Amino acid sequence: MYGLVNKTLQEMIIDRYGNAKWEEIRKESEIEPLFFIAMECYPDEMTYKLVAGASSVLGVPADQLIRSFGEHWFQVAKVGYKEILDFAGDNFVDFLKNLDNMHTRVGLIFTGFRPPSFKCTEVTDSSLRLHYYSERAGLTPLVDGLLVSVGKHFSLEVDAVLDKSRAGGDDHDEFIVHFRKA
């Protein structure tokens, strides 16, 4: 996992719970680095440990934490990666359609990125089906949070329902996404 993910998680925890809690979580998770380099590749295990440690220290279920992280992730990206997000599309559907292109292109640039893959089908004016493929387990709630946050970015209310999931025995996750003007 790229350091950007761990770094954003660290910033979210410090913002919401303070430095002391972060230090507690870092010790609980047995994580050595004091800070993360955004474009440095870190073992996935470190991110999973951080999530588990934060869940234990903060008393928040891991799924809820990951979903919050998904929302937070997009808010952070809006500040630091505004041009890229704008480049990805000027409306909700285009944005989701280009998600896979963007991840593919990023994957070409950064070796070892192992980006997820997205596909939009059954697109209408108010809904679509989002297919989510990932080598990593447990990050489905992140997509859920991300969808809500992207919807807000385009001034839409978004309801994403997980229709199919790897946890339920399917080979990938599928969200039925409904959106309407907020």
Partner 1 sequence: MSSGFGLGPRELDSVFPFHFVIDSDTRVIRAGPAIQRLLPDFAGGKKLDSLFRIKRPANLVGYREICEHSDQLFLLEARSLDKLLLKGQMLYLPHADAIVFIGAPWLTDSSDIGALGLTLNDFAIHDSVPDYLLLLHTLKTSLGDAQALAEQLNVMNRQLEGRIEERTQEVVSANATLKEANHRLLQEIAERRRAEQILFESESRFRMMSDSAPVLIWMSGTDKLCNYFNKGWLDFTGRTPEQEMGNGWAEGVHQEDFKRCLDTYVSAFDARQEFSMEYRLRRHDGEYRWVVDHGVPRHDNHGIFLGYIGSCVDITERKEFEEELKRSNTELEQFSYAVSHDMRQPLRMISSYLQLLERSLAGQLDSEKRDYFNFAIDGAKRIDQMLVALLEYSRVGRTGEPTVWIESRAVLDEALQFIQPALDEAQAKLSISGDWTRIFASHDEILRLIQNLIGNAAKYRVAGRIPEITVTSGMVKNEWRLCVADNGVGIIPDQIKRLFQVFQRLQSREAYEGTGIGLALCRKIAEHHKGRIWAESAGEGKGSKFYVALPVSREKI
- List interacting residues with partner 1 (CB under 8 A): 35, 37-39, 80-84, 86-90, 94, 98, 101-102, 105-106, 108-110
Q: Is 10 or 55 the residue whose CB approaches partner 1 more closely?
A: 10
Q: Is 48 or 154 the residue whose CB approaches partner 1 more closely?
A: 154
Nearest Cα to 171, choosing from 132, 144, 123?
A: 132
Judge whether 90 and 65 are in contact, CB under 8 Å: no
Judge whether 36 and 1 are in contact, CB under 8 Å: no
CB of 71 to partner 1, least distance (A): 21
CB of 2 to partner 1, least distance (A): 10
CB of 155 to partner 1, least distance (A): 18
Q: Is 13 or 57 the residue whose CB approaches partner 1 more closely?
A: 13
CB of 39 to partner 1, least distance (A): 5
Distance in angstroms (rounded) separating the CA atoms of residues 176 and 130: 6
Judge whether 135 and 63 are in contact, CB under 8 Å: no
Nearest Cα to 44, choosing from 143, 118, 139, 109?
A: 139
Q: Is 20 or 109 the residue whose CB approaches partner 1 more closely?
A: 109
